[in-house]
């Protein structure tokens, strides 16, 4: 099973130079996944429709990673802003990021970002850990968005003036299949 999440947390730390705040939103590709096969599927569901459960579609925690070549920066356990349940404000050290540089944005929902970035990494976590209620692992649904940081980062060093990284769509990293004997 290939999954883009890692079980152990990453500690990037912070510096005395201050923080750069970034706002982003996380949306599910679909809040419900349905399959209707007009009676010909192997599902026990009646009617013959399978619907994703709330406990499989909830986002409980979010890590965000910015990647540029071999540079990899993570903000962990980012909590939603008070204004919206799907909008987050992350903090990165201003010494780590390069003004004017382009970074790809990777979202890890309900799991920790890996210790080192490798797009082909496979997790050795158990299926139970990956599919726990309200913690179903999710990652980017599409190719990572690329964002360009402004040449002046000073305006974004306060939590109430974050740089907007836009919206990022995630999907479950694993699928559930219901079938009957």
- As averages over each run of 10 residues, the pLDDT of the chain (181 residues) reads 46 54 88 52 55 82 94 91 83 91 96 90 88 92 94 93 94 74 65
Do the beta carbons of residue 136 and residue 55 sit within 8 Å? yes
pLDDT of residue 79: 80
Lookup: tokens for 44: 């026990």
List, for residues 128-168, the tens digit of each pLDDT value.
999 999 999 999 999 999 999 999 999 999 999 999 999 99
Tell me what pLDDT residue 40 has: 55
pLDDT at 87: 92
The H or E element containing residue 10 is none
Q: What is the pLDDT of residue 9?
A: 38
117: nearest Cα among 4, 38, 1, 3: 4
Instruction: Write down the pLDDT at residue 51.
Output: 60
Q: Using an 8 Å Cβ cutoff, are 130 and 5 in contact?
A: yes
Which neighbouring-strand residues pair with 108? 63, 139
pTM for the model stands at: 0.79
């Amino acid at each position: 099973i290939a999954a883009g999440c890692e079980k152990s947390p990453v500690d990037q730390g912070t510096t005395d130079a201050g923080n750069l705040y970034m706002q982003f939103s996380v949306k599910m590709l679909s809040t419900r996944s349905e399959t209707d096969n007009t009676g010909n599927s192997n599902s026990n569901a009646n009617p013959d429709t399978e619907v994703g459960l709330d406990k499989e579609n909830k986002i409980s925690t979010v890590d965000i990673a910015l990647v540029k070549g071999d540079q990899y920066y993570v903000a962990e356990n980012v909590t939603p802003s008070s204004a919206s349940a799907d909008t987050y404000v992350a903090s990165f050290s201003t010494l780590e990021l390069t003004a004017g540089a382009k970074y790809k944005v990777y979202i890890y929902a309900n799991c920790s970002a890996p210790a080192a970035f490798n797009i082909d990494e496979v997790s050795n976590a158990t299926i139970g850990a990956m599919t726990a209620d309200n913690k179903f692992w999710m990652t980017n649904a599409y190719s990572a968005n690329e964002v360009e940081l402004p040449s002046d980062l000073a305006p974004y060093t306060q939590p109430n003036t974050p740089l907007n990284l836009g919206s990022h769509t995630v999907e479950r990293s694993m699928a559930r299949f219901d079938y009957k004997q």
